[in-house]
Chains A and B, each alone.
Chain A
Amino acid sequence: MTEIRISGGAVHDPANEVDGEVRDVCLKDGKVVADVGPEARRIDARGMVVMAGGVDIHAHIAGPKVNAARKLTPDDRRDDPLDRTEMLRSGTGGVVPSTFATGYRYSLLGYTTVVEAAAPPLAARHVLSELRDTPMIDKAFLILMGNNQVLFELIRKSGRPPGAVSPQLRDAIAWWLDATGGYGVKLVNPGGVERWKQDNGNVHSLDDEVTGFDVTPRQVLEAIGGAVDELGLPHPVHVHANNLGIPGNADTTLDTMRTLSGRQAHFAHLQFHSYGGKPDGLPRSRAPELLDYLSDHPEITADVGQVMFGPAVTMTADAAVSAVLRDLGADKWINHDTEVETGCGIVPYRYRAGNYVHALQWGIGLELFLLGRNPWQVMLSTDHPNGGSFLSYPKLIRLLMDRAFREDQIGRANQRAIRRTALLDGLDREYTLNEIAIITRAAPARRLGLRDKGHLGVGADADVTVYVDRTDREEMFATPRYVIKGGEVAVEEGELRRTDDGLLLSSRAAFDPEVSRVLEPLFGDRYTVAFEHYPVREPALREPVQIVEAAR
C-alpha cells in the first residue's frame, strides 16, 4: 500500500489535543503511523489545514425511503447530471442524488464516513444493496425499533419496573442487529408511528398509550434505551423524539431526555425538537433551555439538523409529520407503511428566508451551535436531505466561523422570527478550526464508537482531509485539496483520482440464541416474511465489513 507523508500542514486533531500545530502526518497500510520511509509520497501541505476525514452521524442516503424520494423527484435531478468517465459511474445529483453521485460528492467534500440514520430492518437487503453502490465512504445504518410490534410485545410482557431491562428484550435487539448488519438502534416518534398507521393517530405525550399494545412511549424509551445501554453498543440509542416540529415540543424533548437520564443517548436533529409556544400557534425558540440541560448531562449528545434556505426533501419514518406538510399544500407526498416496524413519509420542500417558521428553524439551529458550551455534545448535521443537502455543509460552516457573513445572512431572514432567537443579542462567537473539526469528525466518530476514525493519532484509519486555508470558509470546506481514504489519495485538486468501495460498518453484541424461539412465534403472527428468511446471511450483501464489538 501507499506510504504518504503529509508535510507541513496545520493539524487540527482535537481528539488528540492538537490545535493547529504544524506537523507531519504519516500514513501506511491504511493507518496513521508515527513515521514513514524516505520513499513515501510527500504531500506538501504548507499553508493548508489537515483534519481527519469527515464523519456524518446523521444523514439519509440509502434504502427504500431515499429511493422512493428519487422516484418522486426526477425533475430535481434533470439539471444536475454526472457524466461517466473511464473511472466513474454516471449519475444524477440534486437534493437526493443517485448512489454513486452520493458517494463521490461526500468524498469531494472531505467526508469519509456516513451513517444512514433510519432503516427499516425488514428492508435491510435493500439498504445493503444500495450501500454497495455508494462508493468512496465507509457507511453504517441504524435500524428503526421504536414502533416495532414484536418489541412492544416483549416490553409489555416483561412486567419489569421502569428502568429495569428485560434480558429477552436485550437479546432481541442484539439479534436484530445481527440479522440485518445494522450498526445501532434508532427510535423515531416511539409509539406514534404505530398509531399513525392504525388510523392517522399519534401520541402526544410520553404517557399516551399506544392503542392495542398496552405500552407508552416512555416505556419504549426506557426499555430500548436501557437495553442498548446495557448491551454496550458502540453507539447509544439514537432518538428522534416525539412531537417533531410541533410548537411547544421542547417539553417533550426535555421529558425524553429526563426519561433516559443516566443512560447514554444521542438526540437526532435537535433543532426540530426545540420549540416553544402552543401546538396550534407559532413556534418560538427554547434552544437555550435544551442546551442548559445538555451542559448538565454529558451522557446526552445531539446533532443539530440545521435547515438551510433552499430546496430540501423531507423524508422520515415519522409519517404523521409528512402528512402535516402535505396539508400545508405540498404538491407531492408519499406515505409508506412497513408492517410491524415503521412508517415513512416524503415531501419535497423549500425553506424560505422570508418565512417566519423557516427563519425561526434556521435561527434555532444556529443558536444550538453558537450558544452550546461543549461542541463535543452538539454535532453538525442538516439531517440530509430534510434540512438541506449535505452539499450545504460548507455554507453552514461559514455561518459558524464568519460572524460578518452570518450577520449578513441574518439580515436577510424574516426579522420577526430572528427577534425571537438570541441571534440579535450580540452573539459574536466564531467557531475555530478545532471546533469545526470537533463537530464534523471528532465528536461524531467518538459518539459512534469508531475509535479509529475522527482523529489522526497513531493507529487511526488513514482517512484524512487537507484543505487550503482560505478566508472564505465556505470555499475552503467545499473544495478540499486532498482527501485520503484508507491511506490512498481519493481526491486531489477537486477531482476524484480513484474509486473505493468503502466498508460496511456493523456492530455486534452477544445474545442468547434461544431468543429465536421467543421471536419466531411473534414473527409468524405479524410478518408476511418467513422468520427463517428474515436475517440477511448472504455474504455478498454484508461484505466488505468492519465489525465493531459491543463493550459488554
Chain B
Amino acid sequence: MAEFGPVTCAGCSLLCDDVTVDLSVEGARLRPDCRLGADWFSERALRMSGAPAATIDGEPADVESALARAAELLRRARHPLVHGFEGATVEDARAAIALADRLGALVSTQSLADAWPGAPAVPLRGASTATLGEIRDRSQVVLVWREDPETTHPRLLDRLGFGSLSAERVLVVVDDRDTATAGRADLRLAWPREHDLDALVTLHALQRGLPVQAGELGGLAERLLAVPHAAFIYGPGLTAGVSGQRRALALHELVRALCHDRHVVTLELLGASGTRGADDVLAWQSGYTGKVDFASGHPEMVTATEPIDDVDVTLLVEHGPADAGEIALGSLAAGPGVEVWIRTAAAGVSAGGTAHRLDGVPLTLQVVQPDDAPTAAALLTRLLAEVGT
C-alpha cells in the first residue's frame, strides 16, 4: 500500500485537494473516487517509466543536446508560438512568458484546436463570480448551462453540496444532450444550442417584467426570481464557436440584471488544470489574457479572429501528448511531428508548484512520486538563458 494524501489532484481544473492516491494498484486509486483523477495520476506516474529523457527527431537524446537544439530553433525563429499550459504550474507559466517576452513570441493560453474558441466577453461588461464554497453555501438554485461536469469535472456537483441531498436546493440543467449531469437535474430544459441566445434574452426580459412568450422559460425564471442567491455554471458549450461571445455577453448581462435584487454569480468551467493559472500570469505580466503577441517589443492583445499564419516555431508547454510543435516540454510522450521533446516531471505527481483552481483559488501541488526529470519551469529558464546570450 503506497497511499499519499491529502494531495491536490490536477486531473481537471477543479483541483480537488482532499485526495488520497494509491499508485501501487493498476490504474491508480483515488479516495474520494474519481475515474478522471485516477486516470490522470496513472498516466503521468506510470506510463513514463522507462521513457527517454528527451528525443530529437524522434530519437532518444540527452537533455543537454535537446536543449541546445531547442535553443537553436528558437534563436532562428522569426515568430515563435508558446502555447499549451494544460498541466502547467504558475511557475511554468511565469518562465514561459518570460521566454516569450525575450523571443518576441506569440503566447496563447487558449486551445488552438478549436477553430473559433470565442473572444472573451468579460472585458466588455464584467462578470459576477464566486469561489466554490460561496456557491455551495449560498446558492439555492444552481444552473448548469450546456456542460456536463459529471464527466469533465466529476466531483463538482458533490463539492457544491449536491451530494448531501439538500431538499431546498435545485439543480437546473440546460442541455439537449442526455448527459450524466442532465440525469441529476431537478429541472431540465432541452432546447437546441442555437436557441441559447434567445433563451438568455428572454430570461432577461422576464427578469425585467416585460410581456414575452416565455414557454418553458417561465418556470425557470420563476425559480431564479424566487431565491436570494443563485449560480450559473457555464463553459465552452455556451461560449465557443460562432456567436459564442454574444451568448456569453447575454449571460453576464442577465446575471448583472438579476443582481439588482438578489445575489447571482457565475462559474466558468475550464477544462485543464493549468490554463487558469497561465492566463492569470499572462494577465499580470502583460496586462492581457488569451492570446498576446510580444513581437513588437511589448505585449499586444490578439483577438480570437486574427489568424496565426506567420508562426514558424512552436513551443508546447505541458500540454498532454505532444503531437504537434517543433519543441515540446511535457510529461507525456511526443508524437511524430515533434522535432525536440524533453520529458518533464509532471506537476502534481513528480513536481510541486502552484496551480489556480477554476475559480481562481491558488493551491499547491505536491510530489507523490519523485522523478529526476526537470520541471518545465527549469527547462524554460535554461532556454531563456541560452537564447538570451
Question: Contact residues of A with B, CB < 8 Å?
Answer: 62, 64, 66-67, 70-75, 77-78, 81-84, 89-92, 94, 96-101, 122-126, 129-130, 132-133, 196-200, 323, 326-327, 331-340, 346, 526-530, 532-533, 536-538, 540-541
Could you tell me if B287 and A123 are in contact, using CB atoms closer than 8 angstroms? no
Which of B126, B133, B297, B301 lies in contact with A339, CB distance below 8 A?
B133
Give the chain B neighbours of A339 by CB distance below 8 A.
Answer: 130-134, 137
In the complex, residue of chain B having the shortest beta-carbon distance to the beta carbon of A78: B301
Could you tell me if A338 and B259 are in contact, using CB atoms closer than 8 angstroms? no
Could you tell me if B354 and A541 are in contact, using CB atoms closer than 8 angstroms? yes
In angstroms, Cα B134 to Cα A74, docked, is: 28
Could you pull out 29 A-B pairs where Cβ atoms are within 8 angstroms? A67-B283, A72-B126, A74-B287, A74-B288, A81-B300, A91-B286, A91-B287, A92-B299, A99-B285, A122-B361, A125-B90, A126-B356, A129-B281, A198-B138, A200-B228, A334-B128, A336-B360, A337-B131, A339-B131, A339-B137, A340-B133, A346-B126, A526-B133, A526-B137, A528-B131, A528-B132, A528-B136, A529-B17, A530-B17
In the complex, residue of chain A having the shortest beta-carbon distance to the beta carbon of B289: A71
Question: Contact residues of B with A, CB < 8 Å?
Answer: 6, 8, 17-18, 90-91, 94, 98, 101-102, 120, 122-134, 136-138, 159, 228-229, 256, 259-263, 265, 280-281, 283-289, 294, 296-301, 352, 354, 356, 360-364
In angstroms, Cα B360 to Cα A66, docked, is: 13
Q: A337-B130, A538-B354, A541-B354 are in contact. Are A91 and B8 (CB under 8 A)?
A: no
Could you tell me if B94 and A129 are in contact, using CB atoms closer than 8 angstroms? yes
In angstroms, Cα B30 to Cα A227, docked, is: 42
Which of A82, A130, A327, A332 lies in contact with B124, CB distance below 8 A?
A332
Could you tell me if B256 and A333 are in contact, using CB atoms closer than 8 angstroms? yes
Give the chain A neighbours of B364 by CB distance below 8 A.
Answer: 125, 533, 536-538
Could you tell me if B287 and A84 are in contact, using CB atoms closer than 8 angstroms? no
Name the residue in A71, A91, A98, A339 with the highest tally of chain B Cβ atoms < 10 Å from its Cβ.
A71
In angstroms, Cα B283 to Cα A62, docked, is: 11
A192 to chain B, nearest CB (A): 14
Could you tell me if B123 and A90 are in contact, using CB atoms closer than 8 angstroms? no
Could you tell me if B354 and A125 are in contact, using CB atoms closer than 8 angstroms? yes
In angstroms, Cα B90 to Cα A132, docked, is: 12
In the complex, residue of chain A having the shortest beta-carbon distance to the beta carbon of B134: A337
Could you tell me if A70 and B131 are in contact, using CB atoms closer than 8 angstroms? no
Could you tell me if B360 and A71 are in contact, using CB atoms closer than 8 angstroms? no
B233 to chain A, nearest CB (A): 15
Given contacts A77-B288, A336-B360, A538-B354, could you give 17 more A-B pairs where the C-beta distance is less than 8 Å?
A71-B283, A73-B123, A74-B288, A74-B301, A91-B299, A100-B285, A123-B360, A123-B361, A126-B356, A130-B284, A133-B285, A200-B262, A334-B128, A334-B129, A336-B130, A346-B126, A538-B352
Give the chain B neighbours of A323 by CB distance below 8 A.
Answer: 259
A504 to chain B, nearest CB (A): 15
In angstroms, Cα B49 to Cα A119, docked, is: 42
- Give the 9 A-B residue pairs with the shortest CB-CB distance, closest first: A339-B133, A92-B287, A125-B362, A81-B298, A337-B130, A199-B228, A335-B128, A98-B287, A337-B134
In the complex, residue of chain A having the shortest beta-carbon distance to the beta carbon of B7: A533
In angstroms, Cα B384 to Cα A388, docked, is: 36
In angstroms, Cα B80 to Cα A432, docked, is: 54
Give the chain B neighbours of A133 by CB distance below 8 A.
Answer: 94, 284-285
Give the chain A neighbours of B128 by CB distance below 8 A.
Answer: 333-336
Could you tell me if A89 and B256 are in contact, using CB atoms closer than 8 angstroms? no
Give the chain B neighbours of A84 by CB distance below 8 A.
Answer: 101-102, 294, 297-298
In angstroms, Cα B91 to Cα A197, docked, is: 32
In angstroms, Cα B259 to Cα A101, docked, is: 35
Could you tell me if B101 and A529 are in contact, using CB atoms closer than 8 angstroms? no
Q: A91-B299, A327-B260, A335-B259 are in contact. Are A67 and B101 (CB under 8 A)?
A: no
Give the chain A neighbours of B125 by CB distance below 8 A.
Answer: 331-333
Give the chain A neighbours of B288 by CB distance below 8 A.
Answer: 70, 74, 77, 92
Could you tell me if A197 and B263 are in contact, using CB atoms closer than 8 angstroms? yes
Could you tell me if B18 and A530 are in contact, using CB atoms closer than 8 angstroms? yes
In angstroms, Cα B354 to Cα A500, docked, is: 24
Could you tell me if B138 and A126 are in contact, using CB atoms closer than 8 angstroms? no
Give the chain A neighbours of B263 by CB distance below 8 A.
Answer: 196-200, 337
Which of B8, B129, B283 lies in contact with A336, CB distance below 8 A?
B129
In angstroms, Cα B301 to Cα A92, docked, is: 11
Could you tell me if B6 and A83 are in contact, using CB atoms closer than 8 angstroms? no
B126 to chain A, nearest CB (A): 4
In angstroms, Cα B354 to Cα A82, docked, is: 28
In angstroms, Cα B261 to Cα A528, docked, is: 27
Q: A530-B6, A533-B8 are in contact. Are A92 and B260 (CB under 8 A)?
A: no
Could you tell me if B101 and A90 are in contact, using CB atoms closer than 8 angstroms? yes
Which of A71, A73, A129 lies in contact with B90, CB distance below 8 A?
A129
Could you tell me if A126 and B129 are in contact, using CB atoms closer than 8 angstroms? no
In the complex, residue of chain B having the shortest beta-carbon distance to the beta carbon of A83: B297
B79 to chain A, nearest CB (A): 15
Which of A67, A82, A197 lies in contact with B138, CB distance below 8 A?
A197
Give the chain A neighbours of B265 by CB distance below 8 A.
Answer: 335, 337
Could you tell me if A125 and B287 are in contact, using CB atoms closer than 8 angstroms? no
In angstroms, Cα B280 to Cα A125, docked, is: 12
Q: A123-B361, A126-B280 are in contact. Are A533 and B6 (CB under 8 A)?
A: yes
Could you tell me if A199 and B260 are in contact, using CB atoms closer than 8 angstroms? no
In angstroms, Cα B281 to Cα A133, docked, is: 9
B103 to chain A, nearest CB (A): 10
Q: A327-B260, A533-B364 are in contact. Are A91 and B354 (CB under 8 A)?
A: no
In the complex, residue of chain A having the shortest beta-carbon distance to the beta carbon of B102: A84
In angstroms, Cα B94 to Cα A198, docked, is: 36
In angstroms, Cα B133 to Cα A100, docked, is: 33
A55 to chain B, nearest CB (A): 23
Q: A98-B285, A533-B6 are in contact. Are A338 and B131 (CB under 8 A)?
A: yes
